[in-house]
Amino acid sequence: MRIHFTGIAGAGMSAAALMMREAGHQVSGSDQDVFPPMSTYVEGLGFPFFRAFDPANLPRGLDVLVLGASAKLGGEDNPEVAEARRRGVRVTTFPELVGEATAGKLNTVVAGSFGKSTCTALLAHVLREAGCDAGWMIGAISPSLPDTGHWGGAPQVVLEGDEYIVGPSDRRSKFVLYHPRDVLLTSLVHDHVNVFPTFADYEAPFRELLRLPPADGLLVARDHPAIRAVAGEAACRIVWYDVGPCEGWCAEDVAFGDVTRFTLRSPAGGRLKLATTLLGAHNIENIVGVAAYLLERGLATEAQLARAVESFQGIRRRLDRLTAASRIPLVEGFGSSYEKARSAIEAMRLHYPARPLTVVFEPHTFSWRNREALPWYDTVFEGAAKVLVVPPPSHGAASHQQSSFEEILARIERAGVPAAGVRTAEEATAALGGLAGDEVVLLLSSGPLLGLPDSLPPVFDQLYAEPAAA
């Protein structure tokens, strides 16, 4: 088939496009107003990529147009969609396409409010290192994997399962389309308040997901009250995990450092020494969940698991250290929700306890911009010495109760954390240009953040270079 992806620089869209290309289809795509790392990543994938939406981008003989769900794409008003409709070409979404294509595979869906990108990438990495040519689809870039999407020759496919809706006219959560045999469920906390106003609304698609695995399937779930409350929907075997002691898999003797070491304990009392360069307690939790799944399913040996965990380099934007020479660490985190932001901040305090923490934050997602989420700002920056805040974007603002820039700044200040607004990259760079030298700086966003993840590292490496040895 000839498949064109409108909104190709979306993380899930580009991964799905790679899967389809490896499955033997001809792929092209378009997008606009996109930013690194995804824009530069897609440019290097080797299929036709157009930086504007135009009916002329659609190839002759097109069979399917895949439309992304982002509000900036314009939905049915997008000119490429209009042209596809005029030609009589099928218009679909990437979750529908991936679900249809993998319906005959042994699909493992990794779901949860946070942790799913890291867990999906780690699962794919361990399987690859263990010699299993599994397929995967990941909504983030991992240095440990050649691409974000892979079709694979083995029956196993690992899919990052997003609870967000398919699109404005299809209110199903994406992950219910993926025909899971197994589910790894990492977390369940209220998110995406623009489409799930209450926790009951948010919980409902997870209940639906857990009804999908067959009787011989497997649910590996974090031992948490919210997950316990929905796990009764599953008809398959359930295995629990957590960082602390529980009836399932857990971590013992955690020693945090540049290389963090801990012992993985099985429900039967077996113990396995593991080591990781990933930062934060939440990543120990991720590793325990992945290890529990792989060992319960017999998809990797203990030795293969230990080697792969130690070599895993994580995923881009999840606590990446961006500087090489600077004595002030500049770290990029992913802050699309309260829980993800808190995990990143707590990891900074854990690994750099003596350094004052400056956070550069962009309220990019609908959740951060929604007035109902203003209470998040009361506690999210606990432990930070200062917060620089970038204005929220305006796309989709009319679709929900959007907070103003001033309201966000005032709420942070009221919580007792010094905050300042920075509207341009130049303002942000100037604000960070007079640091004492003992700080740590965390860039926190799911958006472009004024291009600072690309522009700041060389500035820091020059301004704050370690003094030459005498």
* Helix extents (H) in 94-198: 94-101, 116-129
Position 356 scores a pLDDT of 97
Domain assignment present for 344:
yes
The string of pLDDT tens digits covering residues 51-61 is 999 999 999 99
The string of pLDDT tens digits covering residues 153-172 is 999 999 999 999 998 889 99
pLDDT of residue 359 exceeding 50, the answer is yes
Average pLDDT over residues 445-450: 92
pLDDT of residue 21 exceeding 80, the answer is yes
Q: Are residues 296 and 362 in the same domain?
A: no
Domain assignment present for 72:
yes
Q: How high does pLDDT run on average in the chain?
A: 94
- Counting residues of the chain whose pLDDT is more than 70, the rounded percentage is 99
Please tell me the distance from the alpha carbon of residue 254 to that of residue 271, in angstroms, as a whole number.
Answer: 13
Tokens 């250290």, residue located: 321
Q: Give whole-number Cα distances, 134 to 48, 147, 154, 310, in Å.
A: 26, 13, 5, 20
Please tell me the distance from the alpha carbon of residue 152 to that of residue 150, in angstroms, as a whole number.
Answer: 6
Q: Are residues 193 and 76 in the same domain?
A: no
Pairing status of strand 90-92 against strand 135-137: unpaired
pLDDT of residue 469 exceeding 70, the answer is no
Polymer length in residues for the chain: 470
Torsion over CA of 81, 84, 90 and 92, rounded to 10 degrees?
Answer: -20
Tokens 């009836």, residue located: 247
Give the CATH number for residue 233: 3.40.1190.10
Position 177 scores a pLDDT of 98
Token couple for 455: 């522009």
Give the CATH number for residue 325: 3.90.190.20
Q: Are residues 302 and 325 in the same domain?
A: no
Position 169 scores a pLDDT of 83
Average pLDDT over residues 108-129: 96
Domain assignment present for 468:
no
Backbone angles phi, psi at 102, to 5 degrees: -105, 10
Position 470 scores a pLDDT of 44
Domain assignment present for 48:
yes
pLDDT of residue 72 exceeding 80, the answer is no
Would you give the end-to-end CA distance of the chain in angstroms? 64
The string of pLDDT tens digits covering residues 121-157 is 999 999 999 999 999 999 989 999 999 999 999 999 9
Domain assignment present for 58:
yes
Q: Are residues 298 and 219 in the same domain?
A: yes
β-partners of residue 421 are 389
DSSP string, 224-267: -HHHHHHHTT--SEEEEE-SS--SSBEEEEEE-SSSEEEEEE-T
The string of pLDDT tens digits covering residues 233-258 is 999 999 999 999 999 999 999 999 88
Vertex 224, ends 219 and 226: CA angle to 5°? Answer: 90
Position 180 scores a pLDDT of 98
Position 145 scores a pLDDT of 96
Q: What phi-psi label fits residue 249: left (phi over 0), alpha (psi between -120 and 50 degrees) or beta?
A: beta
Domain assignment present for 383:
yes
Domain assignment present for 470:
no
Average pLDDT over residues 334-343: 90
Average pLDDT over residues 342-348: 93
pLDDT of residue 266 exceeding 90, the answer is yes
pLDDT of residue 430 exceeding 80, the answer is yes
Longest Cα separation, the chain: 73
Give the confidence band of 310 by pLDDT, cuts at 50, 70, 90. very high
Domain assignment present for 124:
yes
Q: Are residues 403 and 287 in the same domain?
A: no
**126 or 317, which is more confident:** 126
Q: Are residues 78 and 133 in the same domain?
A: no
How large is the angle between the packed helices 338-351 and 281-297, nearest 10 degrees?
Answer: 110
pLDDT of residue 35 exceeding 80, the answer is no
Average pLDDT over residues 412-427: 97
Residue 27 contacts residue 3 (beta carbons within 8 Å)? yes
Vertex 363, ends 358 and 365: CA angle to 5°? Answer: 140
Give the confidence band of 14 by pLDDT, cuts at 50, 70, 90. very high
**73 or 273, which is more confident:** 273
- Count: domains in the chain: 3
Please tell me the distance from the alpha carbon of residue 320 to that of residue 467, in angstroms, as a whole number.
Answer: 23
Q: Are residues 49 and 149 in the same domain?
A: no
Average pLDDT over residues 207-219: 98
Among 94, 125, 151, residue at a domain's last position: 94
Please tell me the distance from the alpha carbon of residue 361 to that of residue 356, in angstroms, as a whole number.
Answer: 16
pTM equals 0.82
Q: Are residues 286 and 222 in the same domain?
A: yes
Q: Classify residue 466 by its DSSP letter.
A: P
Give the CATH number for residue 53: 3.40.50.720
Beta-strand (E) ranges in 313-439?
320-321, 330-333, 357-361, 386-389, 419-421
Backbone angles phi, psi at 419, to 5 degrees: -135, 145
Give the confidence band of 468 by pLDDT, cuts at 50, 70, 90. low
Single-letter code of the amino acid located at 461: D
Q: Classify residue 89 by its DSSP letter.
A: -
Q: Classify residue 79 by its DSSP letter.
A: H
Per the structure, the complete domain to which residue 27 belongs is given by 2-94
Q: Give whole-number Cα distances, 39 to 9, 44, 314, 315, in Å.
A: 6, 9, 20, 16
